[in-house]
């Protein structure tokens, strides 16, 4: 369709000019004035819109990449990884996926009630949001996190050089210590409610809260301007 428009549009344009010349000088003069104005207007719009579109696309691609990484990093997800990729592509386009089309194993991630959140989240850049806020920030990264890579925590820290990045070896995505080797030990931290949070997490958050309570109250809700 795009190729057809590229071929047909110039032909139609030349035909319109020829018809205007045939109809009279006044219409020709109008075209000579209107076409440059329209061209200049479209040029300004493209200069303004295209950078914003590219920036938005980078944000969307980044979230899609994170979702795909979280799914493919776990070997147990191999049977549903391709289907998950299709759902992510649909959400990227702002389209929802019917519940009947979703494998039951993927429902916790793509349930209809969370699809609106995912579509909205794809338009946001966590690193940029982190860089805009002036509130104190603690970034806790599990060294054995199967879902979020260390690079993600580092990206947040790079956006906020004054933030504290705490990487805890042997800690999973649930902020619990992984006892043992292999994926089964990591999975246990998701489902075993008897496992406590890693004590280092508790200590770090408590220390952070104590330091934050001494910060000026008027900073709450403020954002950086760039």
State the 10-residue block means of pLDDT for the chain, 226 residues long.
Answer: 47 57 60 65 60 48 66 76 88 89 88 90 83 91 89 92 93 93 88 92 92 54 46
pLDDT at 27: 58
| List of residues 6+ apart from 224 with CB closer than 8 A | 131, 132, 133, 134
pLDDT at 6: 46
Q: What is the pLDDT of residues 158-215, one digit of tens each?
A: 999 999 999 999 999 999 999 988 888 998 999 999 999 999 999 999 999 988 755 5
Domain range summary for the chain, segments of one domain joined by +: 55-121, 126-214
pLDDT at 173: 92
pTM assigned to the model? 0.56
């Amino acid at each position: 369709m795009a190729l057809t428009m590229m071929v047909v549009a110039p032909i139609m344009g030349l035909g319109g000019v020829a018809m205007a010349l045939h109809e009279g000088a006044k219409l020709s003069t109008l075209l000579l004035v209107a076409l440059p104005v329209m061209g200049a207007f479209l040029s300004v719009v493209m200069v303004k819109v295209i950078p914003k579109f590219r920036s938005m696309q980078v944000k969307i691609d980044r979230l899609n990449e994170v979702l795909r990484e979280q799914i493919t990093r776990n070997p147990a997800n191999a049977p549903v990884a391709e289907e998950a990729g299709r759902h992510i592509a649909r959400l990227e386009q702002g389209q929802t996926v019917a519940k009947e089309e979703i494998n039951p194993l993927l429902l916790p991630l793509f349930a209809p009630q969370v699809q609106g959140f995912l579509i909205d989240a794809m338009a946001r850049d966590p690193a940029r949001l982190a860089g805009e806020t002036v509130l104190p920030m603690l970034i806790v990264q599990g060294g054995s996190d199967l879902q979020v890579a260390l690079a993600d925590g580092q990206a947040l820290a790079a956006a906020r050089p004054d933030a504290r990045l705490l990487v805890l070896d042997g800690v999973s995505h649930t902020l619990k210590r992984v006892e043992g080797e292999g994926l089964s030990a990591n999975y246990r931290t998701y489902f075993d409610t008897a496992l406590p949070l890693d004590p280092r997490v508790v200590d770090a958050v408590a220390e952070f809260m104590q330091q934050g309570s001494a910060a000026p109250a008027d900073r709450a809700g403020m954002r950086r301007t760039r």
